[in-house]
């Protein structure tokens, strides 16, 4: 993905949207969300804000740009 700008909130939101396609967020998916939020270095409030924005159909910022070195980890 070198040369592609990716935002931390964009990655988190897209992942949550995929997990919610079936309308259910399982316990395992919730654990993965927590782990992803930690790995993306999101604040304590950001995951809840993203989830609320998805439910309300609102747009969100792309978040902190993830450097190429982090994208590969």
List the domain boundaries for the chain. 8-71
pLDDT at 73 over 80: no
Mean pLDDT over each residue of the chain, to the nearest integer: 92
Instruction: Please report the DSSP string for 20-67 in residue order.
Output: TTTS---HHHHHHHHHHHHHTT--SSHHHHHHHHHHHT------SBPP
Q: pLDDT over 90 for what percent of the chain?
A: 84
In the prediction, which pLDDT does 68 show? 84
CA distance 9 to 13: 6
With cut-offs at 50, 70 and 90, classify the pLDDT of residue 71.
confident
* Nearest CA-CA partner of 18 in 38, 39, 8, 33: 33
Could you report the per-residue pLDDT of 22-44, keeping only the tens digit for each?
A: 999 999 999 999 999 999 999 99
Q: pLDDT over 70 for what percent of the chain?
A: 95
């Amino acid at each position: 993905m070198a040369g592609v700008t990716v935002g931390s909130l964009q990655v988190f939101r897209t992942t949550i949207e995929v997990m919610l396609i079936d309308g259910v967020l399982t316990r395992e998916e919730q654990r993965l969300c927590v782990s992803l939020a930690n790995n993306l270095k999101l604040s304590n409030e950001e995951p809840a804000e993203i989830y609320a924005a998805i439910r309300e159909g609102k747009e969100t910022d792309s978040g902190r740009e993830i450097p190429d070195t982090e994208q590969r980890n």
